[in-house]
Structure 1
Amino acid sequence: MNEKTRNSVNRRFSVAPMMDWTDRHCRFFHRLLTRRALLYTEMLTAGAVLHGDRARLMGFDLFEQPVALQLGGCDPQALARAARIGADFGYVEINLNVGCPSDRVQEGRFGACLMAEPRLVADCVAAMKAAVDIPVTVKCRIGIDDQDPEEALFGFTETVRAAAPDALIVHARKAWLKGLSPKENREVPPLDYALVRRLKAAHPDLEIILNGGIASLEQAQAEIGPLDGVMLGRAAYQEPWRLLSVDPLLFGEAAPSASPKDAALALVPYIERETAKGVRLHAITRHVLGLFRAVPGARAFRRHLATEGVRPNASAAVLVEALAHVLDSGADLAHIAA
């Protein structure tokens, strides 16, 4: 792959990798809302990729593309092998997690604690880039614990960019590895978007993506400014209807679905296919609970999915029934549920 092809992934807008959230069912659903967003897997450790059930952990539908694989680890050679496997699976990018603050991740010496070991991160990036022909990127924080954010982020970037990462995705908050829970680390440390903009000004030839605290597409559009893109996290998941604005607002293209209701109906054939394989309905419909906001019947929609969708033999008909609460009439849905 030549350098032009290596950098062909468009990161103007992406949905963040989120543990227990951005699984393959979530990504399929998100793709019904936006064709252009870059989607990410949940983080997988290099060990899980090398020794686990790869088909279950890494399999995805081609409809999800473009989709990137996020890896966690600190062993350059293990990460290189895992990256190669990811590339062979068809992922368009490999991302190294240097931002997760959980205790489990710290015990494994990866995630945000690697902000203190930029040379090791550079070695990991170099090994992965040598192993694959697709982009290798890094997702980091602006610092950890008592580090000075400006000094930590700029020093980290100077060291890691020697390995030529294809992009740096910066969660514009510190991570406190001692004293704050992972949830608190997503909310308590103050955001510093200006620092990320200063980093971009100092490294104009390095692709830099902003992450953290972005609550809407309008804010994402405003914050891109001199940066190369924005990554949306919880807002994209908890209020997925927002993703319908991605293609029109940020790419000048029509959304793949005309409305949240249309997107949900487009999910029905996927649900039928997956439940026929033994997938529980709730594993899919849990990702659509936030699809409607300020729409009459939205609460009844969620309640129906929460109560009926968890039943052992629940089928796509449950989603259709739930949608009848938010559509003008359920009559036109009868043939789908049949």
Structure 2
Amino acid sequence: MNIDFNRRLSIAPMLDCTDRHERYFLRLISKHVLLYSEMVVTHALLHAKPEMFLGHEEFEYPAVLQLGGSNPADLAKCSKMVEAAGFQEVNLNCGCPSDRVQSGSFGACLMKDKNLVADCFKAMQDAVSIPVSIKCRIGVDEFDSWDFFRDFVGTIADAGCKYFIIHARKAWLKGLSPKENREVPPLHYEFVHKLKAEMPQLNIAINGGIRSMDQVLAHLNGDPTSAGTGVALDGVMVGREPYENPWFLHDADQRVFGDCHSPLDGESSIPKTRKAVLEAYLPYVEKQFAEGCPATILVKHIYGLFAGLPGARKFRQMLSEGAPRAKNYGGPAELIRKAMELVDETAYI
């Protein structure tokens, strides 16, 4: 489905996090944020049931599916499947540092072979009419200079790529876990802003360590006090914060996209509430549970909705302990309703 969308704010692809249910839930909070799938490995997509990886609701749009792979022909085939499924964009992962990904010769290790990445991109873009984007780091292992980073992006851009999402850390492929790779290598936001200054024709989004909406706006506005430069970026990608605290997104439509209307209220500008979001999620939960989705999968994405508020711990505890035996409550939707009763009324305001 061809729809217009804005890249100013997106949710990072995260394994075991950004599945179709998480995307549906977050869309109830923000109608403009760009949502990403978990990374889908080309081999799995080509040799398993595609619906396992491509299934989704149109309500999730705009949405991007991220592919992991290094074979141009396989990536082209998978990109066609992604487009046919209805996603608005397909993304190539050149930033994941996990051992499993390295063993498949894709992810962050691809940054060591810029020409292969260019070939992969071209094969993907030639196969589809939707945009193809690249998500990468600012470097990998000992290849962490500005010249290396600029040359990598420049090579892919010369192949026709316009859209880059850049995690402003380098990746260490040996000695650090994926979690440590999100925290230990220092952030160099200045690399990303400098890239935009030197290549203004590219659409550049930044990722890494961004935990507040003020930080998001600083990067979008080129605020030198927060971003280290006066160059504005085209987009910001956030990951852990909205997963651990989904309400992080509650004012994103207004502050980032200039839209005061709730995705739940159509043209109404009445502020949405956590309660309204949960009540809108319940019919979806009932439908998915009836179709065989485990309750544990359906409730885990709402654990952090009341983060920092009275009753949040009890809410999370009841959901995590009750989900494996949700049928005893009449299903996960009823479990959620009972958990909502444990939250202080002030948390719903």
Match of 2:263 in 1: 256
Q: Is the 8 A contact 1:200 1:208 kept in 2?
A: yes
CA 1:262 to 1:308, structure 2 compared with 1: closer, same or farther past 3 Å? same
1:15 to 11, 15, 20: 11
Picking from 293, 304, 309, the partner of 1:279 is 293
Segments of 4+ in structure 1 off by > 3 A? none
The question of 1:325 aligning with 2:331 is answered no
1:315 aligns to 2:332 (yes or no): yes
Farther-moved stretch of structure 1 (293-302 vs 122-131)? 293-302
- Output the CA distance in 1 between the equivalents of 2:18 and 2:6: 19
Task: Name the structure 1 match of 2:226.
Answer: none
Contact 1:149/1:174 (8 A) holds in 2? no
Residue of structure 2 in register with 1:235 after alignment: 241
Aligned to 1:204: 200
Q: Which stretch has the larger CA shift, 249-258 or 79-88?
A: 249-258
* Counterpart selection for 1:89 from 70, 82, 85: 85
- Tell me, what secondary structure is at the counterpart of 1:251? coil
1:304 paired to 2:318: yes
Q: What SS does the corresponding residue of 2:289 show, helix, strand or coil?
A: helix
Shift of 1:328: 2.6
Higher mean Cα deviation, 303-312 or 284-293?
303-312
Aligned mates of 2:317, 2:158 — CA distance in 1: 52
Kindly provide the CA deviation profile for residues 175-234 of structure 1, in whole angstroms up to 9, marking residues without a partner as x: 000111111000000001111000000100000000011001121111122110100011
- TM-score, length of structure 2 as denominator length: 0.90
Q: Is the Cα contact below 8 Å between 2:326 and 2:332 reproduced in 1?
A: no
Could you tell me how far apart the structure 2 residues matched to 1:230 and 1:22 are?
17
Q: Which residue of 2 aligns with 1:268?
A: 282
Q: How does 1:64-79 map to 2 (within 5 A)?
A: 64-79=60-75
Structure 2: 5+ residue stretches without partners: 223-231, 265-271
Whether 1:34 aligns to 2:30 is yes
Q: Percent sequence identity over matched residues?
A: 47
Structure 2 residue 109 is matched with structure 1 residue 102: no
Which secondary structure state, in structure 1, belongs to the residue aligned with residue 324 of structure 2? coil
How many residue pairs are counted as aligned between the two chains? 325
SS at match of 2:66: strand
Supply the distance in 2 between the matched residues of 1:115 and 1:295 (Cα, whole angstroms). 42
Q: Structure 1, residues 125-145: CA drift from partner, whole Å, max 9, x if none? A: 000110000000000000011
Which amino acid is the alignment partner of residue 311 of structure 2?
G
| Helix, strand or coil at the partner of 2:305 | coil
Q: Of 169, 173, 176, which aligns to 2:172?
A: 176
Which residue is 1:333 aligned to? none
* 1:99 positional shift: 0.2
Aligned 8 A contact 2:137 2:171 in 1: yes
For 1:244, which of 237, 241, 250 is the aligned residue?
250
Give a deviation string over 1:32-89, Cα, whole Å, max 9, x none: 0100001000000111111111112211011111110100101111100000010000
Partners of 2:43 and 2:161 lie apart in 1 by 22
1:312: how far off? 5.0
Match of 1:147 in 2: 143
Secondary structure of the 2:91 match is strand
Amino acid at match of 2:263: P
User: Is 1:220 aligned to residue 209 of structure 2?
Assistant: no
The answer for the alignment partner of 2:269 in structure 1 is: none
Counterpart code for 1:300: K
Match of 1:335 in 2: none
* Aligned counterparts, 1:118-137, within 5 A: 118-137=114-133
Tell me the amino acid that sits aligned with residue 240 of structure 2: R
Structure 2 equivalent of residue 114 of structure 1: 110
**Structure 1 counterpart SS, 2:211:** coil
Give 1:160 shift. 0.7
Query: TM (normalized to structure 1)?
Result: 0.93
- 2:228 aligns with none
Secondary structure, counterpart of 1:296 in structure 2: coil
For 2:237 and 2:122, how far apart are their aligned partners in 1? 24
